[in-house]
Each structure stands twice: as C-alpha cells, then as structure tokens.
Structure 1
C-alpha cells in the first residue's frame, strides 16, 4: 500500500513538472513588439522600420509635428523623405540607430486633415516609395499636448 501511494505521489509530481515545463515555452513577454509604443501607423520600407507614426496639430491647415520613431537596423545611413501634398522633409536615419520624433522636432507646414481624422503621408527611401495613412492628433489627450505646434 505504501509503495502504491509513493508511486502515485511521484507520478503526480512528474506530471506537474512536465506541465510547468511545457507551458513555460508558451510565455511571450511582448519583447518582439517593443518598438510600437503609441497610437499610429507602422511601415517597413527600404530597410527602415517606421513605428507609431502620427501627426500632432491644432487644426486642419495648421502646422503638424511628426510623432513616432524610425529605426534603422542596417549598417548604413539611410536618407528618408516624409511629406504630404504641399511639404516634404528630408531626414537621415543613422546606421544601427533611430530617429525618435519626440526628441527630434520635424514639422510639416500644414496638416491636410483635422485632428481626429487620418491623412496620407508619402514616404520614400532608397528609390522605394509608399503611402502611409496616419492619425492626426491634437492636445485633447494630455500625452500629446506638448507636441502640438504653437
């Protein structure tokens, strides 16, 4: 009787251990999504990773500041052009680096759409072009207020 009880106990412990080990491989800390930090649009283009791109503006036809970040995992500096229908910005994203728009101020002269809408930006690098549809934000949400051009 004692040996049967011991065998059941060992089986139960082994089953619990196998279950814990099997389930521990299913855990995902989200570390693969570390670059997407805010509301906005994402795009991979010519080796660049544009993440959480949006525009902060007071109103339609008013200046708009780019928000989000551009990552360059490649070994070379890449020239990037971002623009709307009437203005474009020429930027350089350093090799193995990033261009965070929260600390690097880049402002478009006018915003094509009002806050709450989405607008198209043309993005180009290394001969490739794409259209990125991004949200237009204003200072209604406290976290965006400091970025709205005055």
Structure 2
C-alpha cells in the first residue's frame, strides 16, 4: 500500500510540473514588450515603425515653459512629422527623417513646451500624432530637484 501511495504522489507531482510548464509556455515573453525604462513615457503606434521614447517635461513652475526631453524614432523609409499636443500648451512639431531618431532637449538645444498646465511632479494629458495616427498618453513633469534634470531647466 505504501508503494501505490508513493506512485500516486509521483504521478501527481509529474502532472503538476507538466501543467506548470504548459502554462508558462502560454505566458507572454515580457522582455520582448516595449516599456519605458526611465522616468519618461513611451508612446508606441500600431505599426511600430514610429514611436516616442522616454518623453517628459522639465519645468520650474506651473504656467511657465517646459523643456521637452526624450526621443522620436522613425524606422520607416519615409520622412515624417510628429506633433505633440499637451493640455494647455502650444503644440510642438518635430520633423524626423526616415530611419532616424531625433533627440529632444539635449545638446544645448531646447524643445520648449509651454505653458505647462500642471505643477512639477504632475502629469499632462498629451497626444502624439504622426502619419495620420495619434496616441493619447500622460506626460510626466519634473523640476530640477533631481540633479540629473537640473541642467535641463528652461
């Protein structure tokens, strides 16, 4: 009787292991999903040929100008124009050549967004449009409290 109980437990353990492997095989591979690895927001479009990367705003106060940081990537074979419209702010339009990435707010070249309609630490509802597509997202607003952003204040 002890042998049949051991056999039953072994069979149950093998069944559980096979079930766990089967469920694991059905799970999505999360390391292949797009994500924003930093403080900004990633904006993916349906065709994945164009996207916004690590988009955020650095501002000193609500109602003032903000420096838009991040990147706009165009992996298509045609030039495109991105337009970012944030709540209360004047739209910003950025041309991006085919197969290139344009970095915003870096190398001493500010991309100003203003007026910023929220306090630093808040978020702005924004829309990124390109090639007839648009995506709505939340754009985080930071100030110079973190040393890595102090040099980017407008």
SS where residue 147 of structure 1 aligns? Answer: coil
Say if 2:118 is the partner of 1:113. yes
- Count, aligned residues: 119
Say if 2:133 is the partner of 1:128. yes
1:53 is aligned to: 55
CA contact (8 A) 2:65 2:112 kept: yes
The CA RMSD measured in Å over matched residues stands at 2.1
CA contact (8 A) 1:35 1:51 kept: no
Flag structure 2 segments of 5+ consecutive residues without an equivalent: 1-30
Normalised by the length of structure 1, the TM-score is 0.71
Q: Kindly provide the CA deviation profile for residues 3-34 of structure 1, in whole angstroms up to 9, marking residues without a partner as x.
A: xxxxxxxxxxxxxxxxxxxxxxxxxxx8x799
How far the C-alpha of 1:138 sits from its partner, in A, is 0.4
1:17 is aligned to: none
Q: In the alignment, which of 94, 100, 103 is matched to residue 100 of structure 1?
A: 103
Cα separation, 2, equivalents of 1:87 and 1:41: 19
User: 5 Å matches for 1:1-150?
Assistant: 36=36, 38-45=38-45, 47-84=49-86, 85-101=88-104, 102-103=106-107, 104-149=109-154
CA contact (8 A) 2:35 2:42 kept: no
Cα separation, 1, equivalents of 2:75 and 2:33: 15
Q: Kindly provide the CA deviation profile for residues 94-114 of structure 1, in whole angstroms up to 9, marking residues without a partner as x.
A: 111111112342101211111
CA contact (8 A) 1:49 1:71 kept: yes
Cα separation, 2, equivalents of 1:37 and 1:97: 20
Normalised by the length of structure 2, the TM-score is 0.69
Flag structure 1 segments of 5+ consecutive residues without an equivalent: 1-29
